[in-house]
Chains A and B, each alone.
Chain A
Amino acid sequence: MQSSQYLSQLNAFEKMSDEPWPEDAVLYQPYEAEQILLPEHASCLAVKAYLKMCQLPFEVRSCANAEYMSPGGRMTKLPFIRAGAFIVAEFEPIVNFIEHKGSAIGQWLDDDNKADMRTYVSLAENIFTMAELYISFVNKTVYEKVTAPRNGCVFPWPLNLIQNYSKRRNTLRLLKVYQWNDMTIEDVIEKVEKCCETLTLKLEESPDTPFFYSDQPCELDAIAFGHLFAIITTDLPNMALAQTVRKFKRLVEFCQFIDGKYFQMSK
């Protein structure tokens, strides 16, 4: 029921929305310091990076029940933005929404390149999100030491136990749907490695420019930055993912560049 809102909204803003981007757009996310989990943090970071690249003004608001307020999505359901009457969740729908508003970046790409870029975006989003979910919920130490306490911290006992249980169950179901449930950590690392290799290759296609496609940012830059930066900067009891990503020097440099250009400036 909840998720179908997001679809109808997709249809709704496919039909209309000539209005410009509202000044009072708000991005909702869980509390960054205490609550947010790695996959959610990564996808929030990606959306923020994208909005900054588009130079669209937005305000970040943290609330404990952000996930429940979200109209729904395929993976983390977070973050969601509220722009005027529209509420849109997750990276891809938000990008589509901004494109309909006409203020998106990456419009200069021709159709072929764009389709190509979308493929990379979908790859990066799937692989990294699943790997992050895997490490957060399937790895026992990470789950017990980090995921469960953080996820439950906004709920009083005994509600936190129930919430942890149901969140874990939903996540395992999601991993099953994406066929990641029966993987070992080695399989996951291998997948992430492959994905990083693909991205490095893409990045090296234009070695003189800092971005994936020539000298302007696009969606791929945002999503790759969001996930990679979140992975390498988050401390977990199991740093396998971060170590894997750190092997790709080119990607780490890219992350530092984007961080410096879009995030340090504003601080």
Chain B
Amino acid sequence: MPRPTRTVKEQAKVDLSKIPAHVERVNVSGLLRTHNDYVMKAAEGLFKARNFQDLMIESMNAKSYLHELGIFKDVQVRVDVSKGENASPNGYEITLKGQELSRLVGSVGTEVGQNEGSLRTELSIPNLFGRGESVSLQGSYATTRANELQLRFWKSFFHTRFVENRPEVSLSLFRHVDRMDISSFQNANLGFLTDFSINSLYPFELTHSIQYEASIRETSLLAKQVPFAIREHCGPKLASLVRYSVIYDQRDNPVFPTQGLMLKSVNEYCGLGGNVAYMSSTTHGEISVPLIAGLVAQVCGRIGVIKETKNTTVLPISSLFYCGGPLTLRGFKYGGAGPVVDGTSIGAQTHWCTGLHLWGPLPFNHVFKGLANNFRTHLFYNCGGFNSFSAENMRSAFGVGLAFKLAERARIEMNYCIPVRKYASDKPVNGFQFGIGYEFV
């Protein structure tokens, strides 16, 4: 029988950093399909521990590292005094006991997209060849817009010496159908995508992603009477594009940040072969500053530009920017603050919008206790425009609303909006507006 193990609790009252300790052995058990070298990195930090506190911290790190590798369902850590002939008095033995994911993992769930909910099913084979390679087949069916089917293969390189940079490569075949009901067309996209993403640490942490996409985009109409300007775009086209996106995120919380800055930029160059050519760039920024008594001031902004290149014959209608909507320019319907052709909204070539928010906790915060942390109230003023960056063509609205945090990622907003500046062709919403998504202005 093994000697009684010392758990963290027993040692809690003692100053752990003064107890010398070093790790003599690290066992990782439960590896069935995984190759040993894939989990090697987990032990590295442990051997550096010189006292018991370090040892505890490092073993927690090792545990979370193993979780991140994405091969285990569950990981348990056991710390034991070292045994055997060569055991030294302060030597410890660490056993990381993992339970591997099964060969085939299926899941069904709901997902939040930009202003839509979707049902999503996924079937994946994790850890295909024993070094974190995975294949998944996922389908999602959304209430309003997009349907998607994707077969994806990805491999992460967390086990190499670039663990800090979190490199990951993926390759996917996809088909998604995007319905633009307000413009009465839909865009069916069938193609493949390769993606390489990596974090760079100096001078500050950035997440980069470089993608290449080749796809057949087929635009077709959804309604009987459609303006000719939209009808002209019908038919299949071949797009071949590179996309580079970079994210800088220093916020303390992705949904209700109290301080920090987030910047995200997506740039596309389309026209490497194929017969669609354009250049587009979208930048989204968000900065939050804490004020007194739990109040937070927030400024958000977004700019999007799509430009012709030398080869452009016509800009694809599906890549244009829609102005207005509960996630960007509140107080207008989705696409309701943009250009209009024969009474039908279509996208614009450039668009911008900014929002000023004053976030506050729910009144009578203490009554609701923990639940209240999921709620915020806000006052907002947002304005935006398209095709020019002057204030002339500007639409604006202000209002007050309640926001709810959904699973640390998404946000549901219920706002009472009062459009201030609007034009005759716009579709304003004067009253309650409901928005759900993860990236708001």
Contact = CB atoms under 8 A, between A and B. Distances in A.
* Direct A/B contact, Cβ within 8 angstroms: yes
Nearest to A68: B235
Interface in A1-52: 1-2, 4-5, 8-9
Contacts of A87: 228, 231
A248 interface: no
A84 to B, nearest CB: 11
Interface string B186-223: 00000000000000000000000000000010001111
Nearest to A5: B224
Interface stretch (A121-129, A154-162, A170-178, A204-212): A154-162
Contacts of B224: 4-5, 8-9
A63 B237 CA distance: 14
Interface string B28-54: 000000000000000000000000000
Nearest to B222: A1
Chain B: number of interface residues, binned into ranges? 10 to 19
A156 B273 contact: yes
Interface in B254-304: 273-275
B315 interface: no
Contacts of A65: 232, 234-235
Contacts of A64: 235
Contacts of A9: 224
Contacts of A8: 224
Contacts of A156: 238, 273-275
Contacts of A63: 232
A82 interface: yes
A159 B235 contact: no
A105 interface: no
Interface residues of A, number: 21
A155 B236 contact: yes
A259 interface: no
Interface in A122-173: 155-156, 158-159, 162-163
Residue from B216, B222, B235, B273 having most chain A Cβ neighbours under 10 A: B235
Contacts of A69: 231-232, 234-235
Contact of A155 (B221, B226, B232, B275): B275
A67 interface: yes
Interface in B230-245: 231-232, 234-238
Nearest to A85: B225
Contacts of A2: 220-221
Contacts of B220: 1-2, 68
Contact of A159 (B216, B223, B228, B234): B216
Nearest to B220: A2
B234 A68 contact: yes
A63 B231 CA distance: 12
Nearest to B186: A1
A69 B227 CA distance: 11
B236 A159 contact: yes
A155 B231 contact: no
Contacts of B273: 156
Contact of A1 (B221, B232, B236, B237): B221
A149 to B, nearest CB: 17
A155 B234 CA distance: 14
Nearest to A6: B224
A163 B236 contact: yes
A80 to B, nearest CB: 10
B364 to A, nearest CB: 52
Nearest to B227: A85
Contact of A82 (B221, B225, B228, B234): B228
Interface in B399-427: none
A85 B343 CA distance: 13
Contact of B216 (A1, A85, A162): A162
Contacts of B222: 1
Contacts of A4: 224
B212 to A, nearest CB: 16
Contacts of B237: 159
B329 to A, nearest CB: 31
A265 to B, nearest CB: 31
Given A65-B235, A69-B234, A5 B221 contact: yes
A187 to B, nearest CB: 34
A9 B223 CA distance: 12
A72 B263 CA distance: 47
A5 B223 CA distance: 7
A159 B221 contact: no
A67 B234 CA distance: 9
Nearest to A64: B235
Contacts of B225: 5, 85
Nearest to B276: A156
A4 B228 CA distance: 17
Nearest to B234: A68
A9 B224 CA distance: 8
Contacts of B236: 68, 155, 159, 162-163
B283 to A, nearest CB: 31
Contacts of A5: 221, 223-226
B177 to A, nearest CB: 13
A155 B228 CA distance: 22
A5 B225 CA distance: 7
A159 B240 CA distance: 12
Sort A-B residue pairs by CB-CB distance and give the 8 closest, nearest first: A65-B235, A68-B235, A68-B234, A5-B224, A159-B238, A8-B224, A156-B238, A69-B234
22 contacts: A1-B220, A1-B221, A5-B221, A5-B223, A5-B225, A63-B232, A65-B232, A65-B235, A67-B235, A68-B234, A69-B232, A69-B234, A69-B235, A87-B228, A155-B236, A155-B238, A155-B275, A156-B273, A159-B237, A159-B238, A162-B216, A162-B236
Given A5-B223, A9-B224, A162-B236, 20 more contacts: A1-B220, A1-B222, A2-B220, A5-B224, A5-B226, A8-B224, A65-B232, A67-B235, A68-B234, A68-B235, A69-B235, A82-B228, A85-B225, A155-B238, A155-B275, A156-B238, A156-B274, A156-B275, A159-B216, A163-B236
